[in-house]
Amino acid sequence: MSERIEKILARELNEPRSRVKTLLQKGQVTVDGVVARAGQQADPDTQEICLAGEPIACRAFVYLMLNKPTGVLSATDGKGAPTVLDLVPSALGRKGLFPAGRLDKDTTGFVLLTDDGAFAHRILSPRSHIPKTYIATLDKPVPPTAAAAFAGGMEMDGKVLQPAQLTILSAHPPRAQVVLRQGIYHQVKRMFARVGCTVTALHRTAMGVLELDPTLAPGDCRALTPAEVALLAKDTVQ
């Protein structure tokens, strides 16, 4: 679909219109080898758009995997506090990015960032029941009866929760893996509190079958590959 070249450049380069205007005035942008002019139409799906001779990878939507560190909000506006969007480098960013789902401020791990509202809705829809995997560090060993309590469907906020899978990983230090198919406020922490444990650290390791890239340091992010996006999409099939 054809769009004004300014709109394409602002979106793909994550630059303000004033910067885009300067690039066009300097003749640094070409479309199919011809210097682009302000106001002209271009189709990023069928035409090659270059900046200083280098092709610009035009993307219909952006899908990013972020390893969220503690102390960062899963929000688009932190009202002065750091947010997950502050961690996205300009080369990967785009106007309209938002976190598809939230992690508590002190919870770390996999956050999906995208500007694809329809895809995010499918990921977050309760009907999809996308499993999310967490590793919890606790103040004491998990009691043997906890797995049955998690699987049995606890009642919380007047509702019976979906069964959750609990796997004890170690007693020293006390660590356990939890797989949820829904998400209510502080669910993991509240479930462990029901069995007499306090969560001292919580880390999301996977969404669906897509695991957090172990090479991503806290605060780092990267674009998902088409195959990884397809994995997430497959999990949303009703």
C-beta contacts of 32-41 below 8 A and 24+ residues apart: 36/5, 37/5, 38/5, 38/6, 39/4, 39/5, 39/6, 40/4, 40/5, 41/2, 41/3, 41/4, 41/5
Q: Which of 104, 213, 220, 235 is catalytic?
A: 104
- Calpha distance 190→209 (Å, rounded): 25
Burial classification of residue 199, based on how many CB atoms lie within 10 Å of its CB (0-12 exposed, 13-18 middle, 19 or more buried): buried
Distance from C-alpha of 119 to C-alpha of 60, rounded to nearest angstrom: 12
- Does 104 qualify as catalytic in the annotation? yes
How is the chain split among helix, strand and coil, in percent rounded to 5? 25, 30, 50
Distances (CA, A) of 46 to 41, 51, 55, 175: 12, 16, 13, 51
Catalytic (active-site) positions: 104
